[in-house]
Structure 1
């Protein structure tokens, strides 16, 4: 089977599902009220210089100031920052043109760069760059030389700055490539004019809406269909494709079936599963995904899989299956940053290498850049995956108001003991004779049942009368001790 791209459109939200061989591999979500910022270009103002971090904070008009590190400067700015002393290149109150390379995530502001890059279908234009190049995914040396010659010829005639030929440029004729580069140059010229006239904290250039970015970035030769369930969006995509990506026009079709588009490949169910910690493998083994602010951990277990000949073979087969499943889950959940994988311990070095190779091969289709280390002495695999936007969990969910995102609650017994300590504290501080305890149903039931004897002893010891009232809105950890 070939790959398909499904686009589900509702007024407040657009969702894109990338299906490979009938299996959901990736989900992209863009909400009208919270569009991603990656690719947007702003005229900002430096609000703080941090020499100790070799970074500056830039006000671009967002809720939180954005972060610009010396490593993300363009060539001209880097020359000013001699020996990476960023305070030599920037000062507080200085205006600066920046581009967002990473959306605000959690409590962190957006990540910025001054190395502006504007992508089109076949090229990426970098107006401040001094060199050009060709995508590493194009392996044919003769094709690489052809593309490089085409770019260099255009630069001699028309442009300053640099171009990078994208993977989609492979095999495209020179006329189409030159037209693409000319479009990018005109687009940048319009942005450059705005830089001179607009106020600071102004958006200079916004990236394309999600459906158009799909046509620009995600089109691959193996894609058989791009289905969209909105007639209006279909029309806009068709017009865009006809002008910029004509080879995709036959692939785009309007889906008008009564059955919801995402039900064709059980996409809704897969999204729900991607929000769960536990992922069950076909063999009976399972994996546990834990996402924290610092890193994501993946724990692999044999579970119900008992294997065949011996334990080592069972472990090896489970790890091989897990390696393929992990690569899919990383894309599906859009997990980025540091990722630690705890494969089941293997004794055979050959098995370790085969599992690593399986993981690397499965990650080849991933659009996000990733690096994988060797298996450590503890059997852990450390890897990184480039993170530019929020994970699926962070987009669709929020921390539990009861546990604060910890994933666990104090037991009723623990809360009861905390209440006893609070009663002692209140009585000794205020010398009262009667108290009212407000708590959840579970805690009040335990206080009047299993803890009744201890409560009676406490009342006699302190010489107070304690009343209770169950509050249905209270979580298992919440309580209040009120003086009467």
Structure 2
């Protein structure tokens, strides 16, 4: 297993594992009931303009209104547009063609742009821009210029639309480009017709579903095979591959073994690991990854790694291994936004620079735009990763009902002392004949063992009988006091 794409399909969801250099690098999950919106185009209606935030809420037919910032309103006269407030550009009730650039995340609605684009395999079509752009992942300046010249020639002198050359296009032939251009123009023609005939708010273009999108975005010369465990999905993928990437069509295969695909390749285990806070390193060190609404933090620890006799070299080697693991984990977990990394302290500036270089090198596999800002004054590495979709944890998990997402619950002792205080208060307020405490078995056992004397003292103090009742369905923090 070196470079493969594995696709598991059920009626409820599609899961994709991207394997590069023998390691799972990305996981994608799309559920039928909650498909992602990124790339979709809508006829929207301006519902509310917020001059103070220079933004507007747009109705695109979803339960939650989407968000459009003035910076995401596109015009050919960009310089003049930058000086105009949003209330001079839009008005409430206005119909507007918009595209989702960021899925709804948490309590926030989808983020929109009026800079419309349609992605193909090799190119991204820009119907409202006469511009040729080249993927930042293509670093060779000579190659970038060559690709730009080819696209300018192939799109035609009279063409007023633009294109962005994707990373996969680096080795594409002219005929490959021409096929992609023809396909994208055909798609845009359909979008225009729907945009002109559909009443707002309504969808006018939906991006490809995950199984086909993966072929468009990931299948390349380096891909050894694509395995999918659904014959119906395989037929759809095979048809797409034969039409748009015929030279790779024979690499798409159906998986027929009785043993589940993700189990056979160890993907289920990788998914569970990707949901854990702790990531073990081969050397014995480990990472602790915490995701909050504002940012993601990564703490690097040596753990059992003792390394060489030279302490500085030991720290450096641990941090070097950690930087490689961090780059993979950010991609695997789809963590975006602000990221702060707390490497083990290094006084050697050469070592610090080497860590940053290793981090830069390790993120080159990631298609998502990332920026490394270097070490802060506090010795933390600050970086950003563009966030367009929910993280893996947010897709698969929900807030813990016991701790409400804090990651901690009150100790047994804390709950017991809280109950004792409440017993005194309830007794004084209602003067019952007896009081029954219903709590978890752990709390009741704690009262019977460590705090049996406290219960006796409480009974004597309030002059009432206190009964203890254990309930297996109660969590550690759950309890009730029943007055008799």
TM-score, normalised on structure 2? 0.94
Equivalent position SS for 1:75: coil
The corresponding residue for 1:344 is: 344
Equivalent position SS for 1:289: strand
Q: Size of the alignment, in residue pairs?
A: 484
Deviation readout 1:233-276 (Å, 9 max, x if unpaired): 22211111111112221321222233332244322211111111
Equivalence map 1:3-14=2 (5 Å): 3-14=3-14
1:376 correspondence with 2:376: yes
Mapped contact 2:336–2:385 kept (Cα < 8 A): yes
The corresponding residue for 1:144 is: 144
The corresponding residue for 2:436 is: 436
Which 10-residue stretch deviates more, 361-370 or 175-184?
Answer: 175-184
Equivalence map 1:213-252=2 (5 Å): 213-252=213-252
Deviation readout 1:380-400 (Å, 9 max, x if unpaired): 111111111111111122222
- Cα offset, 1:110, TM superposition: 1.3
Mapped contact 2:155–2:181 kept (Cα < 8 A): no
Mapped contact 2:2–2:23 kept (Cα < 8 A): no
Equivalent position SS for 2:365: coil
Deviation readout 1:91-132 (Å, 9 max, x if unpaired): 222222211111111222111111111001121112222422
The corresponding residue for 2:328 is: 328
Equivalence map 1:76-475=2 (5 Å): 83-153=83-153, 155-156=155-156, 159-475=159-475
Equivalent position SS for 1:363: helix
RMSD: 2.1
The corresponding residue for 1:17 is: 17
Equivalent position SS for 2:279: strand
Equivalent position SS for 1:387: coil
Which 10-residue stretch deviates more, 96-105 or 257-266?
Answer: 257-266
Mapped contact 2:51–2:85 kept (Cα < 8 A): yes
Q: Distance between the aligned counterparts of 1:322 and 1:82, measured in 2?
A: 42
Q: Distance between the aligned counterparts of 1:84 and 1:104, measured in 2?
A: 27
Q: Are the structure 2 counterparts of residues 365 and 84 from structure 1 closer, same or farther at C-alpha, using a change threshold of 3 Å?
A: farther
Q: Distance between the aligned counterparts of 2:355 and 2:175, measured in 1?
A: 45
Mapped contact 2:122–2:168 kept (Cα < 8 A): yes
Mapped contact 1:323–1:362 kept (Cα < 8 A): yes
- Cα offset, 1:307, TM superposition: 0.9
Q: Distance between the aligned counterparts of 1:473 and 1:81, measured in 2?
A: 61
Q: Distance between the aligned counterparts of 1:358 and 1:452, measured in 2?
A: 58
Q: Are the structure 2 counterparts of residues 433 and 83 from structure 1 closer, same or farther at C-alpha, using a change threshold of 3 Å?
A: farther
Mapped contact 1:412–1:476 kept (Cα < 8 A): yes
- Cα offset, 1:350, TM superposition: 0.6
Mapped contact 1:341–1:381 kept (Cα < 8 A): yes
Equivalent position SS for 1:204: strand
Q: Are the structure 2 counterparts of residues 158 and 227 from structure 1 closer, same or farther at C-alpha, using a change threshold of 3 Å?
A: farther
TM-score, normalised on structure 1? 0.94
Deviation readout 1:22-55 (Å, 9 max, x if unpaired): 2111111111122111111112222222112111
In structure 1, stretches of 5+ residues that fail to align are none
Mapped contact 1:56–1:68 kept (Cα < 8 A): yes
- Cα offset, 1:304, TM superposition: 0.7
